[in-house]
């Protein structure tokens, strides 16, 4: 899975950007 997909799934709690 992609990091962006996980971030969106978690509600973008800890963005890696």
- pLDDT per residue, tens digit, the chain (17 aa), is 577 766 666 655 656 55
In the chain, the largest separation of any two C-alpha atoms, in whole Å, equals 17
Question: Would you state the pLDDT for residue 11?
Answer: 59
Apex 9 CA angle, 5 and 15, nearest 5? 70
Question: Would you state the pLDDT for residue 17?
Answer: 57
Question: Would you state the pLDDT for residue 14?
Answer: 59
Question: Would you state the pLDDT for residue 2?
Answer: 74
Cα 16 from Cα 3, distance rounded (Å): 8
Judge whether 7 and 14 are in contact, CB under 8 Å: yes
Question: Would you state the pLDDT for residue 9?
Answer: 62
Question: Would you state the pLDDT for residue 13?
Answer: 61
């Amino acid at each position: 899975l992609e990091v962006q997909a996980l971030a969106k799934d978690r509600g973008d709690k800890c963005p890696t950007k």
